Amino acid sequence: MLVAFSVAPSTSDDEGGVAPAVADAIRLVRESGLPHRTDAMFTTIEGEWDECMSLVKACVDAVAKHGPRVSLVLKADIRAGRTGELDAKLTRLEDALNEG
């Protein structure tokens, strides 16, 4: 499965930034060993249901240390028996664009 998620404290430091809290979550993603990609809006991870959801929970818990309230946005693409979709979906898209 692919899980795209965004997690951040609902309140931020005095300058309005959430980067330190988000960095704590992304550090966990990088240490997890799961295939992942982070962009300006979401982090996408690939793995089995339990390992993905466990990692999302750990990220929420890490961000919760920075404030009393956490915002989580999550979208999942669940396709049993598929692996490598983090890159394969983009390859299929590029192929379709090149055909057109």
What's the whole-model pTM score?
0.90
pLDDT at residue 10, as a whole number: 87
pLDDT for 17 equals: 78
pLDDT recorded at residue 100: 76
- Tell me: the pLDDT tens digits for 55-95? 999 999 999 999 999 999 999 999 999 999 999 999 999 99
> CA 25 to CA 33: how far, in whole Å?
14
Measured between alpha carbons, how far is 28 from 30 in angstroms, rounded to an integer?
5
Instruction: Please report the domains of the chain, with CATH numbers, ordered by start residue.
Output: 2-99 (3.30.70.930)
Q: Give me the percent of the chain exceeding a pLDDT of 70.
A: 95
Does residue 13 register a pLDDT over 60? Answer: no
What's the half-sphere exposure (Cβ side, CA atoms, 13 Å) at 21? 23
